[in-house]
Amino acid sequence: MKLSRRTFTQATLGAAAISVGGPLFAQDRPLRLGLLAPRSGVAAFMGEDSIRAVRWGVDRINRSGGIAGRKVELVIQEETTPKDTVERFRHLALQEKVDAIHGLISTGVTLAVAPVAEDERVLLQCWDGTTQNGVQESMPKTRFVFRSTDNECEAVMSSLMAIKRFKGKFATIAGVNSDYSYGRNCWETFKTLLSRYDIEAKVVSEQWIRVGATDLTTNVAALNAAKPDLIFNSLFLSDLPIFLRQASAAGLLANAKIVSTVAGGQINDLRSSFVPEGALLGQNTFYFDLPGASELQKSFVAEYRDRYKAIPTTSADRAYFNLMAYKAGVEKAAKAAGRWPKTDEIADAIAGNDIESLGGRGRYRADKIAEQMFYQGFSKNSTQHEYPGLSDITAAFSDQLQKPAGADYWKWIKTADFRV
């Protein structure tokens, strides 16, 4: 739906605002929340953004009396390789004795950690990680593990918006995507939806980018030789601004239309000088300058920018969403039990609650997979700042973008009733 028609219900405020504090529920020790976040490497910026948002949320929660009467303290471990992160997960659960664990950006790491959490009955809420093997859900039924929205949501939305905006304006296409399952599935999603809507476009180049690559001149040269009318990319690390900067310098972007599924994560490094006007820029679940933004978002963005001299991204929203979903679940379970709830009672109480997150409303489905708002728009230059702004912003809830529980992804996108 278009942003101008977007509505919020009071229900989004209710679940997050329940207060069941007081001596009946309070315990002697603080509620300990473990975090698993990347602190170094290509995904470090995502981990840092997530931690900052959780700290901001915890400060607000503690000033208001905590979660069901207990103040919250954080115990942070680093997300790295699957093997090492499993060990740190166990350290948090068994030695630090945290009450729950949030975090995980990489689906590859999540695939290793999630079965351990389920087996050991430890509550795990994933910021950006899923338990998808490709597009196939590997853990369709969990009790203690909560997963992010499907990886392909932004690709579905970008594909639909590109078709709507650029139909009839391109005959050749090229893909510039990460050389692993996420990038390949995003590219295949775009081509599948073009076919579904009877749009004929010749693929003239496919460029597969190694994670962490910093020199894309060879890829840019290949694209320049192919001269595509439209370039689709799902780059979301530092390779995105590198690609756009090098492509702009080579003259590649002068005529080609740009579709970038999840550009918002790199907003601090994007510049209007090399991002052409009219490029489709996906923002995932959060856009910091959203027209008509909630007071919650306005407060967070203002405090974040003042403190860190940077712009918050979707990683902040996903981490905050999980914090508030946990708070709502704990307080719902405590109210029902009349005492401090057990882990399984909390796990059973999280799904279905409407949460106000930084990017808008969200909730967990019954199958413990998140549903959140997604935002995308078209770049526009401004003399007020260096980074590209957005125009014609579209907002869509993820029930329009991700497959239903148990569905086959490739069959679903060929028949789904999309309304973006």
At 28 the pLDDT is: 75
My answer on whether 389 and 368 are in the same domain is no
- Reported as a pLDDT band with limits 50, 70 and 90, residue 92 is very high
Summarised one tens digit per residue, pLDDT across range 173-204 is 999 999 999 999 999 999 999 999 999 999 99
The contacts of residue 289 (CB under 8 Å, 6+ apart) are 301, 389, 390
Note whether residue 210 is domain-resident: yes
- The distance from CA 147 to its chain's CA centroid, rounded to whole angstroms, is 11
- Reported as a pLDDT band with limits 50, 70 and 90, residue 419 is confident
Q: Which residues of 54-91 are buried (b: 16+ CB within 10 A; e: fewer)?
A: bebbbeebbeeebbbbbebeeebbbbbeeeebbebbbe
My answer on whether 244 and 277 are in the same domain is yes
**Region 278-307 average pLDDT:** 98
Q: Is beta strand 280-284 parallel, antiparallel or unpaired with respect to 370-380?
A: antiparallel
My answer on whether 264 and 311 are in the same domain is no
The contacts of residue 66 (CB under 8 Å, 6+ apart) are 21, 30, 31, 72
Q: Does residue 346 sit in helix, strand or coil?
A: helix
Percent of the chain with pLDDT over 70: 94
pLDDT of 6 strictly over 90: no
Beta bridge partner(s), residue 126 = 103
Q: Kindly report the backbone phi and psi dihedral angles of residue 233, in degrees, each rounded to the nearest multiple of 5, phi listed first.
A: -140, 150
At 9 the pLDDT is: 34
At 26 the pLDDT is: 56
My answer on whether 173 and 320 are in the same domain is no
Q: 165: domain CATH number?
A: 3.40.50.2300
My answer on whether 90 and 189 are in the same domain is no
Please tell me what DSSP assigns to residue 22. Answer: S
pLDDT of 418 strictly over 70: yes
At 420 the pLDDT is: 74
My answer on whether 138 and 163 are in the same domain is no
Q: Provide the whole-model pTM.
A: 0.92
Q: Kindly report the backbone phi and psi dihedral angles of residue 106, in degrees, each rounded to the nearest multiple of 5, phi listed first.
A: -80, 130
**Region 24-50 average pLDDT:** 90
Q: Does residue 25 sit in helix, strand or coil?
A: coil
For residues 205 and 173, is the Cβ–Cβ distance under 8 A? no
My answer on whether 216 and 231 are in the same domain is yes
pLDDT of 16 strictly over 50: no
Note whether residue 59 is domain-resident: yes
Please tell me what DSSP assigns to residue 32. Answer: E
Note whether residue 419 is domain-resident: no
For residues 42 and 23, what is the distance between their CA atoms, to the nearest angstrom? 45
My answer on whether 130 and 47 are in the same domain is yes
Note whether residue 87 is domain-resident: yes
Note whether residue 266 is domain-resident: yes
**Region 295-301 average pLDDT:** 99
pLDDT of 115 strictly over 80: yes
With CA atoms as reference, report the closest residue to 327 among 11, 66, 142: 66
Note whether residue 9 is domain-resident: yes
Summarised one tens digit per residue, pLDDT across range 358-414 is 999 999 999 999 999 999 999 999 878 899 999 999 999 999 999 999 999 999 999
pLDDT of 85 strictly over 70: yes
pLDDT of 14 strictly over 50: no
At 13 the pLDDT is: 35
Alpha helices per DSSP H over 73-145: 82-90, 107-120
Give me the torsion for CA of 94, 53, 138, 122, rounded to 10°: 20
Note whether residue 193 is domain-resident: yes
My answer on whether 405 and 275 are in the same domain is yes
**Region 5-15 average pLDDT:** 35
Summarised one tens digit per residue, pLDDT across range 214-239 is 999 999 999 999 999 999 999 999 99
And the tokens for 263?
């550009």
At 149 the pLDDT is: 98
At 27 the pLDDT is: 67
At 190 the pLDDT is: 99
Alpha helices per DSSP H over 173-237: 181-196, 217-226
Note whether residue 198 is domain-resident: yes
My answer on whether 243 and 389 are in the same domain is yes
My answer on whether 211 and 133 are in the same domain is no
> What's the number of domains the chain is made of?
2
Alpha helices per DSSP H over 231-313: 239-249, 295-308
Query: Structural domain of residue 247, as residue ranges?
Result: 153-284+381-412
My answer on whether 224 and 99 are in the same domain is no
**Region 124-147 average pLDDT:** 96
For residues 312 and 300, what is the distance between their CA atoms, to the nearest angstrom? 9
Provide the 10 A C-beta neighbour count for residue 119: 9
Average pLDDT of the residues of the chain = 93
At 384 the pLDDT is: 83
Give the end-to-end CA distance of the chain in Å, rounded to a whole number: 6
pLDDT of 104 strictly over 90: yes
**Region 283-311 average pLDDT:** 98
